[in-house]
Amino acid sequence: MDESYHTYLNRVAKMTLPATYESQVKNLQESPKFKLAADGKRQPVAFPGYSAITPPGAEDPGNNEVFKALAACQQKLVEKLEPDLLVLVDPASFHFTLADLIWDSAYRTAIAANPDFESKLVERIADSFQIYQNSVVDPAPIRWQIMGLTVRPRAIEVSLVPKDEYSYDRIIAFRRAIYQNSNLISLGIEQQYYFTAHTTLAYFANVHQEIDRARLSDTLQAYNMHWLDNPQEIVLAHGQLRKFADMYTYAREPHFPIVNL
């Protein structure tokens, strides 16, 4: 399910085109990952699972500037769009997803069927990390750059593209070390989507027919000019196994493996 470098670049570029926005904003949906609490605020609901990610923003000082830029983008979106349309992701949890592993109902089913699921997952992810590490013969910084804002049915993200083919190939090699590990496959870990490097900025909340979808599309297009004038780059230094309880909390236990990318 891997694409070539140039195919990836072309696909992600199309995601930031006006025609794509105009199509996507027609199909917005309220995210089920949040609910309206008694105080009128949106709170995350339980959405447990595991993922391989870069350290969250609060733990990744090397990328502090790009995370500040993403937080500023969040605030601009809030200013420009309808009140209560968005639930913002906490900048402290901003991250780059390297490989989705297991989540929600699949996770609940796995742990119900196998009391040792977590210990086996930790062990086999550590094996995959080592397989990847052994494949790195000439390490150099892995750099990805923000391409622009993209719309999903339930979220707004920034999508990223590699600065060079080397940076792309390294991440694909990392993902193959995970998704081609037969011991992980036996735990129910499998690749389900084409890889699209992204950081989620906000989820849609109060979606209704009166939303000004044209304004949303125009706002995203206008802000993409900002990225062109102020390119933002993230350096991928470490991959980590993280356990999440919801879309705000990405925890790491001391025995969870880490790998130098």
CATH number of domain containing 10:
3.90.1140.10
Domain count within the chain: 1
Q: Which of 85, 35, 37 is nearest to 209 (CA)?
A: 85
Token pair 């196994």: residue: 241
Per-residue pLDDT tens digits for 84-143: 899 999 999 999 999 999 999 999 999 999 999 999 999 999 999 999 999 988 889 999
Range of the domain at 164: 5-260
- For 68-96, letters b (16+ CB in 10 Å) and e give ebbbebbeebeeebeeebbbbbebebbbb
Per-residue pLDDT tens digits for 230-240: 889 999 999 99
What number is the average pLDDT over the span 192-211?
Answer: 90
Count other C-beta atoms under 10 Å from residue 13's C-beta: 14
What is the C-alpha separation between 30 and 173, in angstroms, rounded?
35
Does the structure show a pLDDT above 80 at 26?
yes
What is the C-alpha separation between 98 and 242, in angstroms, rounded?
11
The predicted pLDDT at position 226 comes to: 84
Q: 88 with 78: CB under 8 angstroms?
A: yes
Residue 176, SS3 per DSSP? helix
Task: List 144's β-bridge partners, or say none.
Answer: 162, 234
Give the amino acid at 79.
E
Q: What is the pTM of this model?
A: 0.94
Does the structure show a pLDDT above 80 at 37?
yes
